[in-house]
Amino acid sequence: MKTFQFGPWKIAASEIFYVSKLSLGLVNYKPVVPVFTPDVLVLARRVVPRFADLTSEEVTDLYASAHAIAKVVEPHYAAESLTITLQDGPQAGQTVPHVHVHVIPRRKGDWADNDDIYDEINRKEKQMNEAMASTTPGETDEAAKAKPAVDNDERQPRTQEDMAQEATVLRKLFQQGEDIWS
């Protein structure tokens, strides 16, 4: 199976639902708002740690991709709004050294204080980084479930199978720039 890089981590093509010339859309291993819907990530295909390191063409493609993805995921998940955010550098909460945008479907009341989502994003970024360090693309669900949880709450990281199923559904909603799944 073809893999791609997300910072130091390998991402299986099965987790990817959107492909453009310079960007990828993938499902999130540890969603920020798991109550009603997972969020997605949009990243530059080239591993670039900081926003200023992207070329102008990559910036244009990254945000055009985030725009295209946002237009689809909001109605697909019956959301009422979106939080779209990029953390640029460790002091901004970025834990995976690869430029990526969070596209997070939102509903009224998902947080008591709307700004609490940013603390949650920071927490989930750290958890995702830790969890991805302990997984292997294509790992069986049984092996993934046997690993310890990445945080102290009751939610387990998503399995490769769950992420592949979600990506397959989303993939059908987009015109792809390249077929990476054949």
Query: What strands, in cross-sheet order, belong to the sheet with 16-19?
Result: 16-19, 23-27, 40-44, 100-106, 81-86
Q: In this structure, is the dihedral angle defined by the CA atoms of residues 66, 96, 106 and 154, taken in order, positive or negative?
A: positive
Taking the C-alpha atoms of residue 173 and residue 158, their distance in angstroms, rounded to an integer, is 22
Q: Is 141 helix (H, G, I), strand (E, B) or coil?
A: helix
Q: Tell me the C-alpha to C-alpha distance, in Å, between residue 86 and each of 66, 158, 174, 179.
A: 11, 22, 22, 27
In the chain, the amino acid numbered 14 is: S
User: Is 67 an active-site residue?
Assistant: no
Catalytic residue among 67, 98, 100, 102: 100
**Half-sphere exposure at residue 118, Cβ-oriented, CA atoms within 13 angstroms:** 8
Distance of CA 173 to the CA centre of its chain: 17
Catalytic residue IDs: 100
